């Protein structure tokens, strides 16, 4: 079961993905946990915008805070990575 931050983080991430896709005129497939990020329709600029906006919204960036090099593969991995960094 997800903790209190999990749904909030999830909703924030999904909302920002939809906003960025609309701004960048990208078509999104259904945003499911098993969606492979490389197949999401978002390009590297979209992901850079997403990470920057998530840092503004959530107050942290797990990519710069972590000593490990980790690249989430699926949307579920991406959300869990942010949840785990909290």
> Where do the domains of the chain lie, and which CATH numbers do they carry?
4-85 (1.10.1200)
15-30 mean pLDDT: 98
Choose between 86 and 5: higher pLDDT. 86
Does 1 score more than 50 pLDDT?
Answer: no
Does 5 score more than 60 pLDDT?
Answer: no
Rounded (5°) CA angle 70-19-51:
25
Q: How far does the chain reach from its first CA to its final CA, in angstroms?
A: 16
How many angstroms separate the Cα of 79 from the Cα of each of 17, 25, 72, 85? Answer: 12, 23, 9, 10
Residue-wise pLDDT tens digits, 34-82:
999 999 999 999 999 999 999 999 998 888 876 777 789 999 999 999 9
């Amino acid at each position: 079961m997800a903790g209190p931050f999990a749904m909030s983080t999830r909703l924030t991430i999904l909302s920002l993905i939809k906003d960025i896709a609309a701004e960048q005129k990208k078509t999104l497939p259904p945003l499911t946990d098993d969606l492979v990020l490389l197949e999401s329709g978002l390009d590297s600029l979209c992901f850079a915008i997403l990470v920057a906006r998530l840092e503004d919204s959530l107050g942290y960036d797990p990519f710069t805070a972590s000593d490990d090099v980790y690249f989430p593969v699926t949307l579920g991995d991406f959300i869990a990575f942010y949840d785990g960094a909290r």
